[in-house]
Amino acid sequence: MPNHHTHASHPAIATRLKRAEGHLRSIIGMIEEGRPCVELATQLHAVERAVAEAKRALIHDHIDHCVTTAGHHDLAEIKSLTKLL
């Protein structure tokens, strides 16, 4: 049975998240090494941005392919999604 919640963009988004996961693991190592807080905060900010961009890509893809193209123009769903951006 095909999964209707899988889109062509999902592998790229998963790759982005895996990269962010690796980055986060390296930050944990930096914390354990006692690296300066400014370095840690900078790296955490980079991970936050990566996750935010992955979320944005996922939501935009969903709007493009599920909400608008499928003829499913549910305003409540669009409003819910835009609150997450």
- Convert the pLDDT of each residue in 25-76 to its tens digit: 999 999 999 999 999 999 999 999 999 999 999 988 888 777 666 566 677 7
Which amino acid, residue 70? A
Percent of the chain whose predicted confidence (pLDDT) is above 70: 86
What residue ranges do the domains of the chain occupy? Answer: 10-83
| Whole-number pLDDT of residue 33 | 98
**CATH superfamily label, 10-83:** Metal-sensitive repressor, helix protomer (1.20.58.1000)
